[in-house]
Amino acid sequence: MQGTYRIAVLPGDGIGPEVTGQAIKVLKAVEEIQGPMFRFQTGLIGGAAIDETAVPLPAETISICHNAQAILLGAVGGPRWDHQRHDLRPEAGLLQLRQRQELYVNLRPAVVHDSLVYLSALKPDVVRGTDLVIVRELLGGIYFGNPRGIFAKNGERMGINTEVYREHEIERVAHRAFQLARLRRHKVTSVDKANVLESSRLWRDVVTRIGRMYGDVELQHLYVDSCAMQLIDRPTRFDVVLTNNMFGDILSDEAAMLTGSIGLLPSASLGERTALYEPIHGSAPDIAGRNRANPIAAIASAAMMLKYSFRLEMIADAIERAIAKVLKRGVRTADMAGKKRAVTTTRMGDLIAQETQKALKASAPKKSRKR
């Protein structure tokens, strides 16, 4: 399988460089067996960029991302930059990147592996079989609405954030959710707070209208507080969960705890021209540089990149099967180890790279012998 694919690599802060390094290791292992060539170009973002350039998203990084077919991100942020003003904090670099690349939908899958069911905060018989994906609108809502800020009025300070959604923003993310559901179990759960918020009333109205275009997909509406409760009570009932920017941010972290470790979960932020792939965990500065981080979410994010940006579904599937096989063998990083002996970040990456190569060799077409 030939082809050259350009990837912008933004390691970021904390454990970001460590986990993205393992994802790149797996992609290079794919190169050795399957034939596609990956061209990596590294850029600064977040705190690392602030330290070097005084801004969280330098012009050079913007150029690198613009020239890439996909972006692989590690993590941004950390307490050492908490003193920065809002627009110069590490997280602002990521928000700016999403806006500049017009990445309007975020996919966050949460799958409970049978071999890890005991790690979940829930009872095994409740969580076993959970396989859902949260489709989060990424460019609207309270994170981007204006006015915003901290103001003084009548002798005291007040904080203001504004929730704004436009009809077309809801339409485009709803289409993505229903299209994804057609590839899964044909069910969309739309999450809002329509009993209180006008923005959610518009959300529900638009999603209902879009849903009529997908007669083969079941649509259910839930209030966000009810959804949060049912994710704990009956997580296996969910397939595709469609929701706004803030609710998706919160619910996807809740879903992460169903799996047993936030270090397992990848994400994809998609636009019409390009896409960004990143683990949903943070920068974990307390373990940065100690070779203890779980690289699986970053590796799984690279697999999503192969699937959604490069249409290399067979290779993506091989990586996902390799992850499952290594976990089934009982290999654990520190976040999952419990009383077991933990492997290092690099060792987990090595094992997944090796299993990926085995899977690709096993699935390669056999050459017929000449007679």
Specify whether 289 is located in the same domain as 348: yes
For residues 106 and 139, what is the distance between their CA atoms, to the nearest angstrom? 10
Does residue 368 belong to any structural domain of this protein?
Answer: no
Active site residue 317: no
Specify whether 226 is located in the same domain as 138: yes
Of 131, 143, 223, 317, the catalytic one is 143
Domain extent for 110: 106-260
Residue written as tokens 């709803």? 174
Residue written as tokens 């296996």? 236
For residues 70 and 155, what is the distance between their CA atoms, to the nearest angstrom? 49
Active site residue 118: no
Give me the pLDDT at residue 11, please.
98
Active site residue 253: yes
Could you tell me how many residues make up the chain?
A: 371
Q: What is the pLDDT of residues 252-278, one digit of tens each?
A: 989 988 998 889 999 999 999 999 999
Specify whether 204 is located in the same domain as 289: no
Q: What is the pLDDT of residues 118-159, one digit of tens each?
A: 999 899 999 999 999 999 999 999 998 999 999 999 999 999
Q: Are strands 149-153 and 218-223 parallel, antiparallel or unpaired?
A: unpaired
- Give the pLDDT mean for 156-181: 97
Of 13, 192, 249, 335, the catalytic one is 249
Chosen domain end from 198, 231, 260? 260
Contact by Cβ (8 Å): 261, 212: no
Please determine, for residue 93, whether its predicted confidence score (pLDDT) is greater than 60.
Answer: yes
Active site residue 143: yes
Of 114, 225, 233, 286, the catalytic one is 225
Active site residue 214: no
Does residue 251 belong to any structural domain of this protein?
Answer: yes
Specify whether 247 is located in the same domain as 218: yes
Of 193, 214, 239, 277, the catalytic one is 193
Q: What is the pLDDT of residues 185-229, one digit of tens each?
A: 999 999 999 999 999 999 999 999 999 999 999 999 999 999 999
Q: What is the pLDDT of residues 66-82, one digit of tens each?
A: 999 999 999 999 999 98
